[in-house]
Amino acid sequence: MTATLIILGIVVVTALAFDFTNGFHDTANAMATSIATGALKPFTAVAISAVLNLVGAFLSVNVAATVAKGIVNLDSYDLTGAAADTDGQALLMVVFTGLIGGIIWNLFTWLLGMPSSSSHALFGGLIGAAFAAMGSTGVEWSSIAGKIIIPAVASPIIAALVSACATFLIYWVTNTIPNKAKNEHFRHGQIVTACLVSLAHGAGDAQKTMGVIFLALVASGHAVADARIPTWVIVSCAVAIAAGTMSGGWRVIRTLGKGLVEIESPQGMAAEATSAAIILTSATGGMALSTTHVSTGSILGTGLGRRGAEVRWGVAMRMVSAWLITLPCAAFVGFATWWLAHGVSSFTNVATGAIVDFVLLLAMAALIVIRSRMNPVDASNVNNDWDPNSESVDSSMGAGSDRKEPVAAGAAPVSATKAEDASAPSTAQEER
pTM score: 0.81
The pLDDT confidence band at residue 196, using thresholds 50, 70 and 90, is confident
Beta bridge partners of 261: 311
Give the ranges where 174-290 is alpha helix by DSSP (H): 179-220, 231-246, 250-254, 265-284
- pLDDT at position 338 over 90: yes
C-alpha span between 259 and 145 (Å, rounded): 31
Which residues are CB-contacts of 311 (< 8 A; sequence separation ≥ 6)? 260, 261, 300, 303, 304
Contact between 246 and 52 under an 8 Å Cβ cutoff? The reply is: no
- pLDDT at position 102 over 90: yes
Output DSSP code: residue 145: I
Share of the chain above pLDDT 70, in %: 85
- pLDDT at position 308 over 90: no
Output the pLDDT for position 347. Answer: 86
The pLDDT confidence band at residue 340, using thresholds 50, 70 and 90, is very high
Beta bridge partners of 311: 261
Mean pLDDT confidence for 406-431 = 40
DSSP string covering 339-377 = HHHHHHHHHS-HHHHHHHHHHHHHHHHHHHHHHHTTS--
Output DSSP code: residue 72: B
- pLDDT at position 319 over 90: no
C-alpha span between 123 and 145 (Å, rounded): 12
Flag the least confident range among 55-69, 300-314, 397-411: 397-411
- pLDDT at position 413 over 60: no
Mean pLDDT confidence for 8-19 = 93
Output the pLDDT for position 281. Answer: 80
Closest Cα partner for 35 from 230, 226, 272? 272
3-state secondary structure of 261: strand
- pLDDT at position 411 over 60: no
* Phi, psi (deg, nearest 5) at residue 19: -60, -40
- pLDDT at position 406 over 60: no
What is Dmax (Cα atoms) for the chain? 87
3-state secondary structure of 139: strand
Closest Cα partner for 259 from 293, 213, 310? 310
Count Cα atoms within 13 angstroms, Cβ side, for 211: 27
Share of the chain above pLDDT 90, in %: 25
Closest Cα partner for 53 from 229, 249, 264? 249
C-alpha span between 379 and 370 (Å, rounded): 19
The pLDDT confidence band at residue 206, using thresholds 50, 70 and 90, is confident
| Between 353 and 88, residue with greater pLDDT | 353
Output the pLDDT for position 83. Answer: 62
Contact between 130 and 73 under an 8 Å Cβ cutoff? The reply is: yes
Note the pLDDT tens digit of each residue in 52-99. Answer: 888 888 876 666 776 777 788 877 776 666 566 778 888 899 999 999
